[in-house]
Structure 1
Amino acid sequence: MLSKVCVVRSDRSDVGEVVDIMSTAFFDDPVCRWFFPDERQRETQHPPFFWPLVEEAYTNGEVYLTDDRAGAALWLPVDVSAHTRPPDLARMYEDSVGPSSAARIGVFGALNAAIHPTSINHDYLPFIAVRPEWQGSGRGAALLDHRHAWLDEHSRPAYLTASNQRSAKLYERLGYRRLAGTIDMPDGPSLYPMWRNPISS
């Protein structure tokens, strides 16, 4: 039986470890397989893909780890009044992962930005990951529960996109509901936008 999982706030000294968690956990994820269809190349393309995303979370948001370094979550605050332009991901990644994968990442970025809620400030969970050998152990739920407690205390909603039906069901058990519509990759997988309202005490 899993003992209590402790969650700690991470600092930038952990960036390499967090990138490694993300890179290994998402190796067989449907969206990452669509980004990087060649398995032999995916292993080398994942770290340069995740590195700037993890860096952004350290710079503009918060990063949390389980104390055994098996799981990590990236959170970004969203101020809907800021009207910031989404980055050109295709251009950003062209040199690091190649033009074909960069173009797919760019398509995802544009579709994701188009459906992202803009009516209320919230926290956005772009990625949560648990190392493959620890998936299903409760570490992902512990990472979510830890942040949800803070969100509930501050009456702040949360938003994420589930990349498969299995993870969507987990999020539903933790208070998320599916929003209308999906994010459909051309000739690829669909993602499910999900929203969680804060729970009043």
Structure 2
Amino acid sequence: MGVAIRRAGADDREDVIRLLDAALVHDPVSSWVFPEVEHRVRTHRALMGAFLDIALDEGYVDITEDGAAVALWWSVPAGHGDGEGDDAAQAGSAADGPALLRRAVDPDNERVEVIGRLTEAIHPTDRAHEYLHLIAVHPDRQGEGLGTALVTAVLDRCDRDGLHAYLEASNARSRDLYARLGFTFMGTTLDLPDGPPMWPMWRAPRA
């Protein structure tokens, strides 16, 4: 049987935040952003909520019908964020995003802002693509192929429409999974200061 997937909305907000928090609170990148465990447990949920709200407003959120897995995506146009032409004002405003996120989530934690600026700096701008920002599978349901189903549903559309896809893998296990789905490591890791690497990965549409 296939995995039933639907588009999440504002009514799903609390359930999705709980899922993101449970699945990602011990992820290497989350652990770097919030190195003190007690503080992470208190604050990580707020960061997940902020990411979700942005995705609901500016991107799209896919969730399995049983609520066990979720993916946050953006459709990114070519030239987005390069600061050229008519988009310059918008790009300048977007550059304040990491600072605004830090102020809203954890003002004394510089790493909330740092990771946003670092990922923005390496994000490809030359071609339109679908950007997988976050994906989460409930800890009790991992290994069932739910995450693969969520990603594949979008990649199938990318193949039909001739769209590229991009993500940053936060650990070696997910990097290897994405490679099996056709993503290619872009050659240089994003090494968080005194922290773990992230793997920028790109996928061209398949004929």
TM-score, normalised via structure 2 length:
0.90
CA distance in 2, matches of 1:95, 1:55: 12
Contact in 2 for aligned 1:90/1:104 (Cα 8 Å): no
Report 1:151-162 matches (<5 A): 151-162=158-169
**Partner in structure 2 of residue 149 of structure 1:** 156
CA distance in 2, matches of 1:119, 1:180: 17
CA distance in 2, matches of 1:17, 1:63: 13
Residue 91 of structure 1, CA deviation: 4.2
Aligned amino acid, residue 67 of structure 2:
R
CA distance in 2, matches of 1:91, 1:5: 36
Secondary structure class of the residue paired with 1:34? helix
Verify: 1:96 aligned to 2:105, yes or no. Answer: yes
Residue 96 of structure 1, CA deviation: 2.9
Count of residues in Structure 1 that have an aligned counterpart in Structure 2: 196
Once the two structures are superposed, what CA deviation does each residue of 1:142-189 show, in whole Å capped at 9, x if it has no partner? 101111111111111110000011100000001100002111111001
Report 1:23-172 matches (<5 A): 23-83=21-81, 84=91, 85-100=94-109, 103-172=110-179
Residue 56 of structure 1, CA deviation: 1.1
Residue 87 of structure 1, CA deviation: 3.3
CA distance in 2, matches of 1:51, 1:39: 19
Secondary structure class of the residue paired with 2:193? coil
CA distance in 2, matches of 1:139, 1:132: 12
Aligned amino acid, residue 198 of structure 1:
P
| Aligned counterpart for 1:190 among listed residues 192, 197, 201 | 197
Secondary structure class of the residue paired with 1:181? coil
Contact in 2 for aligned 1:78/1:123 (Cα 8 Å): yes
CA distance in 1, matches of 2:37, 2:187: 33
Secondary structure class of the residue paired with 1:80? coil
Residue 95 of structure 1, CA deviation: 4.9
Residue 42 of structure 1, CA deviation: 1.4
Once the two structures are superposed, what CA deviation does each residue of 1:17-45 show, in whole Å capped at 9, x if it has no partner? 11111111011100100111122221221
* Runs of 5+ consecutive residues of structure 1 not aligned to the other structure: none
Contact in 1 for aligned 2:80/2:125 (Cα 8 Å): no
Residue 82 of structure 1, CA deviation: 4.0
TM-align CA RMSD: 1.4
* Runs of 5+ consecutive residues of structure 2 not aligned to the other structure: 82-90
Secondary structure class of the residue paired with 2:158? helix
CA distance in 2, matches of 1:75, 1:91: 20
